[in-house]
């Protein structure tokens, strides 16, 4: 916790402890409220520091972008701590943080997830059977079905092949899937090697349980992980939509994002589309573009036997031009994620090479290189003048230390500022409330001092009776103000229901992408089949994104909630209602004369008015996500499935609208009951405050001189508290 927060909490705790000693002289409810606010403040600040103590970093990019290699280089000195997943399906989300011991929580798919995976796997088989039958009809030669599947598997939609892979992997591993579905398990070990060996069984490419793991939370005893948490995401082209939503929810809490794009095919249109669709719109403001596998892009430099420095500079220049052009194209549009603007602000892209880093570390430690590392170094020796196979040269090309030093250190410092800024904001808000309570106690103490000096028990009772009589005379008028306010509030909310229904039109519709592919070949024709003719079959495929529909439903809920609460606050002026009540109460007393104490009446009125609170409407959006993912597991649908997706979108949006309208009806009833309750007790509340204070003064008059002296000391104390708080 920062110094400002610690000092403020210490000050409030000191004041709170001292106020308890003055219970005999001050109103108990003000002391109790001060203590309650102190407890809430301390809890809130501690919670911020607890949940936001670590810098949360998201690593995103398509499958094969080199995310695991990047993390292994950045955090684990190039060692393969995180297994590299060969396909989208085996790349479950992993959250990594520091732990005093090596332990993990592994979360398996639930029953609904697995049912959809099975369905999509069968769709892959059906797709292959149809392709096989079409091929057999065109050819006079018999083709083995198993060999045909291997040859044609790339033509099957990825979401189907991914699920087929999971099912086949589970069967190959002899998994009794029903035994684990919907479960969580914990694993732990005493040392890192034993732990990684156990972990690989759940998240490794060949792990026994890998096909049924949805995500994992792992802790490693590694000093570089102190004060940070890393979210290693599956590819943004994740074939399982329920995992995509889990990833999005994890990323929502990230402070920083590293977006990895393969430098050899930098920032493809598909990649940019996935980036703009997959990330939260406004929650990530610190993001950096990483050009991964930088070595591959350098090798694309065509000039033979070029100086390495020239090839590197040329490649960096091209990557920067491409990044600026591509990102500018997207940020010029309306409604782009904040993360994309943050990436643009932090250009140029930062190159990195996991292969160069691991090669450097192995050469430095006299360890043998693997085949991929040997191949890339031979290519560089062959292609570029001035290339030296030294750890220092390879580290420069890897650029990992630069990223660690210039970016990671920078965002850690910025994170501290963000934490301090958040806590300072809370302190400023609470400071006003604490000052208000101290002011009320100080005013009441000064009033009571004057009351004790100039009144006796008889005059005190007479004053209370007069105040009670005046308050009772306006009870009906105050009730009428509450009733009129309820009728206005209910009318406004009924009108807003119409706006909620109309808002649906702004969130319907599914964007459809069109792609074509051609298949050419020859076939026998004629009576005896002696002739041959060429043919071309053109196939048009229509694709729509399921994740866009999930996002549109979430946006509708968010927009409806904002619209209801903002419009209600704009049209129903709670402060104006309080003002009308205050005018009615103050008007009942002739405050010009000395018969009534103006500050006493207004103070009791202020306290009573501050208790009138109408809460905002809240809508839980998570239950609607499941309504889509229970039907569509893949991130995209094709052809005839698009109309089904659109119908489902419209059905769920209408259901959301109906649920919101029910919430509004419930809110109308809640406001009615709330205002009725306040109306019934409002005058009594003011009267009770006057009576309680009068009884306190009556008790203090029994030892008038001693208590007056103590109260004057308390008044000075309260004045000093105000100075401390400001």
pLDDT of 112-169, one tens digit each?
A: 788 878 888 888 888 888 888 887 777 666 778 888 887 788 787 776 787 888 888 8
Q: Three-state SS for 531?
A: strand
* Closest-CA residue to 726 (of 420, 443, 438): 438
pLDDT of residue 712: 93
**Cis ω for the linkage preceding 348 (within 30 of 0):** yes
For residue 288, being part of any structural domain is answered with: no
Same domain, 385 and 456: no
Count other Cβ atoms within 10 Å, centred on residue 277.
18
For residue 642, being part of any structural domain is answered with: yes
Same domain, 386 and 430: no
pLDDT of residue 128: 87
Query: Among 66-75, 348-357, 588-597, whose mean pLDDT is lowest?
Result: 588-597
Phi first, then psi, for residue 108 (nearest 5°) are -90, 165
Token look-up 């280089």 returns 73
* Closest-CA residue to 615 (of 570, 671, 537, 654): 671
pLDDT of residue 351: 95
Same domain, 389 and 523: no
Give tens-digit pLDDT for 212-224.
988 888 898 888 8
For residue 634, being part of any structural domain is answered with: yes
Give tens-digit pLDDT for 8-53.
889 999 999 999 888 888 888 888 888 888 888 888 777 666 655 6
DSSP code, position 261? E
Same domain, 384 and 515: no
Same domain, 477 and 552: yes
The number of folded domains in the chain is: 2
Do residues 153 and 161 touch, judged by C-beta distance below 8 A? Answer: yes
Res. 379 pLDDT band, cuts 50 70 90: very high
Question: Which of 397, 430, 453 is the C-terminal boundary of a domain?
Answer: 397
Mean pLDDT of the chain: 83
Q: Is 183 left (phi over 0), alpha (psi -120 to 50) or beta?
A: beta
Give tens-digit pLDDT for 546-577.
878 887 888 888 788 878 887 787 777 788 88
* Closest-CA residue to 297 (of 370, 356, 257, 385): 356
Calculate ∠ Cα 71-160-623, nearest 5°: 75
For residue 606, being part of any structural domain is answered with: yes
pLDDT of residue 84: 56
Same domain, 369 and 458: no
Query: Among 73-87, 142-156, 218-232, 595-609, whose mean pLDDT is lowest?
Result: 73-87
Same domain, 596 and 638: yes
For residue 682, being part of any structural domain is answered with: yes
Beta bridge partner(s), residue 98: 220
Range of the domain at 31: 21-50+421-725
Average confidence (pLDDT) over 618-645: 78
Phi first, then psi, for residue 6 (nearest 5°) are -60, -45
Res. 320 pLDDT band, cuts 50 70 90: very high
pLDDT of residue 589: 82
For residue 241, being part of any structural domain is answered with: no
More confident residue, 115 or 449: 449
pLDDT of residue 91: 55
Contacts of residue 707, Cβ cutoff 8 Å, sequence gap at least 6:
25, 452, 700, 701
Same domain, 692 and 615: yes
Give tens-digit pLDDT for 674-719.
888 888 889 998 888 888 888 888 889 999 999 999 999 999 999 9
Same domain, 559 and 688: yes
Q: What's the rounded Cα separation, in Å, for the pair 386 and 377?
A: 13
Beta bridge partner(s), residue 228: 55
Element (H, E) at 554: helix 546-571
For residue 102, being part of any structural domain is answered with: no
Same domain, 482 and 604: yes
Same domain, 465 and 519: yes
Same domain, 525 and 389: no
More confident residue, 419 or 144: 144
For residue 347, being part of any structural domain is answered with: no
């Amino acid at each position: 916790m920062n110094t400002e927060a610690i000092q403020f909490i210490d000050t409030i705790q000191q004041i709170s402890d001292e106020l308890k000693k003055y219970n005999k002289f001050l109103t108990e409810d003000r002391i109790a409220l001060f203590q309650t606010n102190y407890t809430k403040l301390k809890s809130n600040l501690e919670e911020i520091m607890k949940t936001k103590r670590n810098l949360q970093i998201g690593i995103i990019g398509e499958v094969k972008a080199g995310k695991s290699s990047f993390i292994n280089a950045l955090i684990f000195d190039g060692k393969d701590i995180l297994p590299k997943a060969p396909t989208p399906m085996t790349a479950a989300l992993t959250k990594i943080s520091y732990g005093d011991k090596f332990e993990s929580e592994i979360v398996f798919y639930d029953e609904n997830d697995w049912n959809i995976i099975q369905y999509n796997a069968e769709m892959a088989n059906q797709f292959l059977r149809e392709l096989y039958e079409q091929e057999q009809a065109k050819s006079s030669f018999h083709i083995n079905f198993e060999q045909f599947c291997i040859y044609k598997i790339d033509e099957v939609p990825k979401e189907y092949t991914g699920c087929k892979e999971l099912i086949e992997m589970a069967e190959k591993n002899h998994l009794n899937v029903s035994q684990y579905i919907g479960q969580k398990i914990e694993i732990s070990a005493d040392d890192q090697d034993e732990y990684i060996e156990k972990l690989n069984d759940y998240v490794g490419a060949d792990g026994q349980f890998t096909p049924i793991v949805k995500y994992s939370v792992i802790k490693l005893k590694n000093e570089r992980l102190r004060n940070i948490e890393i979210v290693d995401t599956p590819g943004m082209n994740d074939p399982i939509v329920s995992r995509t939503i889990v990833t999005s929810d994890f990323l929502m809490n990230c402070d920083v994002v590293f977006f990895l794009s393969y430098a050899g095919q930098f920032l493809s249109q598909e990649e940019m589309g996935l980036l703009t669709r997959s990330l939260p719109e406004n929650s990530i403001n610190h993001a950096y573009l990483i050009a991964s596998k930088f070595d591959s892009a350098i090798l694309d430099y065509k000039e033979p036997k070029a100086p390495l420095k020239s090839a590197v500079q040329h490649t960096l220049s091209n990557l920067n031009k491409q990044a600026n052009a591509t990102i500018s194209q997207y940020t010029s549009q309306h409604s782009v994620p904040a993360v994309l603007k943050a990436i643009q602000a932090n250009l140029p892209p930062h190159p990195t090479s996991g292969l160069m880093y691991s090669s450097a570390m192995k050469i430095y430690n006299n360890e043998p290189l693997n085949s991929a590392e040997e191949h890339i170094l031979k290519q560089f020796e062959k292609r570029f003048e001035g290339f030296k196979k030294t750890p220092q040269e390879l580290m420069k090309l890897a650029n990992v230390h630069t990223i660690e030093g210039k970016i990671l250190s920078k965002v850690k410092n910025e994170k501290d500022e963000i934490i301090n800024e958040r806590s300072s904001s809370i302190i400023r808000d609470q400071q006003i409330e604490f000052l208000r309570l101290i002011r009320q106690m100080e005013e009441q103490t000064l009033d009571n001092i004057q009351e004790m000096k100039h009144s006796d028990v008889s005059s005190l009772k007479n004053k209370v009776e007069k105040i009670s009589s005046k308050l009772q005379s306006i009870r009906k008028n105050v009730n009428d103000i509450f009733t009129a306010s309820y009728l206005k509030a209910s009318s406004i909310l009924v009108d807003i229901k119409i706006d909620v229904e109309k808002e649906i039109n702004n969130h319907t519709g599914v964007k459809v992408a069109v792609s074509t592919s051609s298949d050419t070949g020859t076939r026998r024709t004629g009576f005896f089949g002696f002739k041959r003719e060429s043919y071309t079959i053109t196939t048009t495929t229509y694709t729509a994104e399921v994740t866009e529909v999930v996002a549109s439903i979430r946006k509708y809920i968010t927009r409806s909630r904002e619209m209801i609460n903002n419009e209600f606050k704009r049209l129903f002026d709670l402060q104006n209602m309080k003002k009308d009540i205050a005018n009615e109460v103050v008007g009942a007393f002739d405050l010009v004369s000395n018969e009534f104490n103006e500050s006493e009446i207004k103070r009791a009125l202020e306290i009573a008015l501050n208790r009138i609170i109408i809460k905002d409407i809240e809508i839980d959006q998570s239950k609607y996500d499941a309504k889509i993912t229970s039907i569509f597991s893949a991130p995209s649908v094709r052809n005839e499935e698009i109309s089904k997706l659109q119908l489902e979108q419209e059905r769920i949006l209408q259901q959301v609208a109906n649920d919101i309208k029910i919430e509004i009806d419930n809110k109308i009833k809640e406001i009615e009951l709330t205002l009725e309750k306040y109306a019934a007790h409002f005058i009594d509340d003011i009267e009770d405050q006057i009576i309680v204070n009068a009884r306190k003064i009556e008790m203090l008059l029994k030892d008038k001189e001693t208590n007056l002296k103590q109260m004057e000391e308390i008044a000075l104390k309260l004045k000093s508290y105000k100075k401390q708080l400001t």
